[in-house]
Amino acid sequence: MKKLLKYLKNYKKELIFGPFFKLLEAIFELIVPFVMANIIDKGIAGGDTAYILKMCGVIVILGICGLGFALTCQYLAAKCAYGFGTELRRAMYSHINSLSHSSVDKIGTASLVNRLTNDTNTVQNGVNMFIRLAVRAPFLVIGAAVMAVTIDVKLSLIFFIAAPLISAIIFVIMRKTVPMYKKTQQNLDRAALLTRENIEGTRVIRAFSRQQEEIREFGTAVDDIAESSIAVGKISAILNPAAFMIMNLGIVAIVWFGGVRIDAGNLTQGELTAFTNYMTQILLALVVLANLIVTFTKAFASANRVSEVFDLPPEENGSLSPSGSGVNIIEFRNVSFAYDGAGDSSVRGLSFELKAGEMLGIIGGTGSGKSTAAALIPCFYRATEGEVLVDGANVLDWDRDVLRSMIGFVPQKTVLFTGTVRENMRWRKADASDEEIVAALKTAQAWEFVEKMPDGLDTFIAQGGRNLSGGQKQRIAIARALVGAPKIIILDDSTSALDYATDLRLRKAINEDMEGTTVIMISQRTTSLKDADKIIVMDDGEPAGIGTHEELLLGCGVYREIYDSQMNEKEGN
């Protein structure tokens, strides 16, 4: 929480002068009843028309000055808040980029996006409102009290009873209601979740004839919302009437004791009017403050969510750069890995060596740890046990960016980005030439359709690649990883949307065009991996066998089973 304050440090000037101008405005506002008191006491009592005119002029001038001060403050507040927000977002995004995959998993990308956009906005708004309004309320309260004291010390005692009383009521009510608002919000979130899930699962719900149960469940959810809203409403409904009563009873007291003071000659009629005016001002200021507290509570909650992101430590980084000295380009030494909070390891006791230019296949069932094992190579995750070595050095010692720049990675889930094909193809290498790009597209069997598109490399890809078919997206994603001659290519089951023929051509092209490149191919098809120099068979997180296709057919039961199941279907018996 406190850590976020440092993003305000460039805006100290605004942070000081903003409230300062607000203070000036409040003072000018407070002088008005005072001037009016003088009009009554001197102007009216003395029948001095000129004085009245002059003083009303003063009120107008006070108003103009007040307006000027207020606008200055609003401007400074906006400048400070948005300056702060901009710096906060910049730092936050940069921090997000420094996080490890485990940290990203912890918060979840959807939530990260939310925190980066919505929460920073809420905090920014909180800063803005703080400068503009939060300072104004205490100023007005204190100012009005000071003015009251200068008019009549004894009578001002009423202020010192009423103001704390109102503040106490606000405090007590807020302390009770703020957690209740949270509860209401949770109930609302639950209703939203139920609605979303219901719409998504309409077919299943109807197929199971569960509509009535779902309606009933939603009914309890909305009952909860109504109940918690009404409960919180009951308490917060006390606030305004209670403050109104205390203030006006204060005025009753002022009127009565004021009468006593006037009778004794210690107070004038005009001063009494001013007194009641100040009382009203205090109340209004406090009520505004009460409403602001809701804004601040939200801002604090958001600030905490933002802080949580900053609290995640950045990914540890080594400093090693490639030496090319390793005998093996990749080596696993008894590697195990468990995701944070998972009950069981996803990869256990994996050891293998791979020489530069070799092809490694990884095969296995759903959730057998194939992708997890591959993700350890670019050090997306850190092995919980054992060592992963790339080019002879532990990946933990590598400079992360250098390590990852060596690797062309094609994730299982195809993601393309808004922009042209060319822009997408330049992800690995910012200054890749069109020749390099076309070559990569050719290898990935993507050039055949990109070429035919009306705008070729300038074809615009909509968000998420909506305007391309699954197979086209996959091939562009593969090509994207090939640009800039990576030393290692990891294909994480990334040919699933391709038909067998294209898949075959793709494998051939990678073999021919990318000579000397180490290829790691994860697949569920034995046919795709047949030519690999080494195949690892993963079964429930453990290597069930490592070897060539022929060796595994003879020596590995699991591999044999996979192979047979696939051959059976091919032969059509």
Of residues 346-375, which lie at the interface with other proteins (CB under 8 A)? 346, 364-367
For residue 161, state whether it binds other proteins (rule: CB under 8 A).
no
Round to whole Å and give the CA distance between 181 and 169: 18
Site for other proteins in 173-202 (CB under 8 A): 188, 191-202
For position 207 contacting other proteins by CB under 8 A, the verdict is: yes
Q: Which of 430, 435, 512, 515 binds other proteins (CB under 8 A)?
A: 430
Q: Footprint of other proteins on residues 255-284 (CB under 8 A)? A: 255-256, 258-260, 262-265, 268-270, 272-273, 276-277, 280
Which one, of 63, 542, 142, 486, lies nearest residue 345 by Cα? Answer: 542
Q: Does 75 bind other proteins (CB under 8 A)?
A: yes
Q: Which is nearer to other proteins, 241 or 324 (CB)?
A: 241
- Coil, strand or helix: which one is 317? coil
Instruction: Assess 5 for contact with other proteins (CB under 8 A).
Output: no
- Smallest distance, other proteins to C-beta of residue 327, A: 26
Closest to other proteins by CB, 267 or 335: 267
Q: Which of 369, 358, 368 lies closest to 520 in space, CA to CA?
A: 358
Site for other proteins in 295-334 (CB under 8 A): none
CB proximity list for 392: less than 8 A, separation 6 or greater: 323, 325, 326, 327, 328, 331
Closer residue to other proteins, CB minimum distance, 167 or 355: 167
Burial class (CB in 10 A: 0-12, 13-18, 19+), 313: exposed
| 428 part of the interface to other proteins, by CB under 8 A | yes
Could you tell me if 474 and 494 are in contact, meaning their C-beta atoms sit under 8 angstroms apart? yes
Q: CA 518, CA 410: separation in Å to the nearest integer?
A: 14
CA distances from 549 to 1, 282, 300, 330, 355 (A): 56, 85, 59, 20, 18
The single residue among 229, 317, 459, 511 that binds other proteins, judged by CB under 8 A, is 229
Q: Is the dihedral of CA 177, 179, 182, 186 positive or negative?
A: negative
Stretch that binds other proteins, among 171-179, 293-301, 415-423, 548-556 (CB under 8 A): 415-423
Evaluated on CA atoms 551, 554, 559, 560, the torsion sign reads: positive
Cβ at position 412, least distance to other proteins in Å: 9
Nearer to other proteins, 225 or 457 (CB): 225
Pick the piece of the chain touching other proteins (CB under 8 A) from 171-179, 342-350, 442-450, 513-521.
Answer: 342-350
Question: Using the rule CB under 8 A, which residue among 427, 459, 513, 551 binds other proteins?
Answer: 427
Near other proteins by CB under 8 A: residue from 20, 93, 181, 449? 93
Residue 226 interacts with other proteins (CB under 8 A)? yes
Q: Is 230 an interacting residue with respect to other proteins (CB under 8 A)?
A: yes
Q: Write the binding mask 458 to 497 for other proteins: x where contact by CB under 8 A, - elsewhere.
A: -----x----------------x-----------------
Tokens at 510, concatenated: 């990678």
- Residue 486 beta carbon to other proteins: minimum distance, rounded to whole angstroms: 10
Q: Which is nearer to other proteins, 68 or 392 (CB)?
A: 68
Please state at what angle helix 12-38 crosses helix 49-98, rounded to 10 degrees. 160
**Residue 90 sits in the site that holds other proteins (CB under 8 A):** yes
Stretch that binds other proteins, among 149-157, 167-175, 223-231, 447-455 (CB under 8 A): 223-231
Burial class (CB in 10 A: 0-12, 13-18, 19+), 324: exposed
Q: Decide: is 32 part of the binding site for other proteins (CB under 8 A).
A: yes
Residue 190 vs 355, nearer CB to other proteins: 190
The one-character DSSP state at 5 is: G
Strand extents, DSSP E, 43-120: none
Measured CA distances, 493 to 345, 364, 515, 522 (Å): 21, 11, 21, 5
Residue appearing with tokens 């219901």: 198
Least separation in angstroms between CB 484 and other proteins:
10
Q: Which is nearer to other proteins, 20 or 355 (CB)?
A: 20
Within residues 99-128, the interface with other proteins by CB under 8 A covers 99, 101, 104-105, 108-110, 112-113, 116-117, 121, 124, 128
Tell me the site size for other proteins, rule CB under 8 A: 159
Distance CA 303, CA 312 (A): 15
Contact between 554 and other proteins (CB under 8 A)?
A: no
| Binding residues among 125-144 for other proteins as defined by CB under 8 A | 128, 132
- How far is 56 from 570, CA to CA, in rounded Å? 99
Question: Which residue's CB is nearer to other proteins, number 153 or number 255?
Answer: 255
- Which residues, including other chains, have CB under 8 Å from residue 178's CB and lie 6 or more apart? 293, 294, 297
Could you tell me how far CA 298 lies from the centroid of its own chain?
Answer: 15
Backbone φ/ψ region at 498: left (φ over 0), alpha (ψ -120 to 50), beta? beta
252 near other proteins (CB under 8 A): yes
Tell me how far apart the alpha carbons of residues 179 and 294 are, in angstroms, rounded to a whole number: 11
Maximum distance among all alpha carbons in the chain? 118
Residue from the set 206, 460, 462, 555 that interacts with other proteins by CB under 8 A? 206
Among 2, 203, 319, 512, binds other proteins (CB under 8 A): 203
* E-state strands within 346-487: 347-355, 359-364, 385-390, 393-394, 407-410, 419-420, 460-461
Q: Min. distance of Cβ 331 from other proteins in angstroms?
A: 21
150 binds other proteins (CB under 8 A): no
146 binds other proteins (CB under 8 A): no
Taking CB under 8 A as the rule, does residue 342 contact other proteins? yes
Is residue 504 within 8 A of residue 330, CB to CB? The reply is no
CB of 284 to other proteins, least distance (A): 9
Kindly tell me which residue out of 53, 153, 161, 462 binds other proteins, with binding defined by CB under 8 A: 53
Q: Which stretch binds other proteins (CB under 8 A): 31-39, 353-361, 382-390, 449-457?
A: 31-39
